[in-house]
Amino acid sequence: MKGSMPMSTPSHQPTARMPVLFVGHGNPMNAIEDNAWSRGFRALASAVPRPRAILSISAHWYVAGTYTTANDRPETLHDFGGFPEALYRVRYPAPGDVALARRVVGLVGERRAAPSLEWGLDHGTWSVLVHLRPEADVPVVQLSLDGRLPPAEHLAIGRALAPLRDEGVLVMASGNVVHNLRHAFSAWYRGDTATPEWARAFDAAVADAVSRHDTATLAGLLESDDGREAHPTPDHYLPLLYAVGASGPEDRVRFPIVGFDMASLSMRSVILG
């Protein structure tokens, strides 16, 4: 997967600093359905400036290493099963950005990160971007999550990415603040729409810590009782740490989308800056 890439510097330096975005992407069907969540994704387009490029950190590229997509034309990945044929026909033809991939590797450090041609844009990225940037007219690079790292290290990588905000790059993290699919599908099959207390409590604790830029609390929340219930695996929580890491205490915090789908799946989104 790994390969060396020469260092480069961005050629475009806009004056306005980009905000950072975390999106609760939820069910892949949000890509093709008209519902409260897809309408919320579309509304985000007017809440953030048009970026020069997008760096997406998706819960669905969860591997043993930190990699960037280095494809000129990243493939649209349908990394799921059992959905209607219409969803598999979705293509998101955004160009890649090899220079941005090099820049990300340089910021994170070549000893910790490397380019890869073995991934594309998974549904954690494109199910949001088909609404946020439907014309696919902005280059997109995806960054993987190293499942071996503790939460504090994911925050540190997020901090390393912060300079991209001054280079016209939208850092967009995509996961879910609460993501226990066993409970969500069980509730859906039963027709149960009641959100359990552990899901509400964890979602509220995260919102409070994000509002206070309390990175220490955010790094430790997975170890709480509610955190273990909310995230049997950490992959959908970790992208939030990149978004918070790339922000600072001076950034205004907004929650443009809130609520639960399938009883316990938090769809909370966050704009920082």
- Average of pLDDT values for 9-14? 43
**CATH code that applies to domain 20-272:** 3.40.830.10
16 falls in which pLDDT band (50, 70, 90)? confident
pLDDT at 161: 98
- Average of pLDDT values for 38-57? 97
pTM of the model: 0.93
CA angle 241, 21, 157 (to 5 degrees): 35
Percent over 70 (pLDDT), the chain: 95
Domain ranges of the chain: 20-272
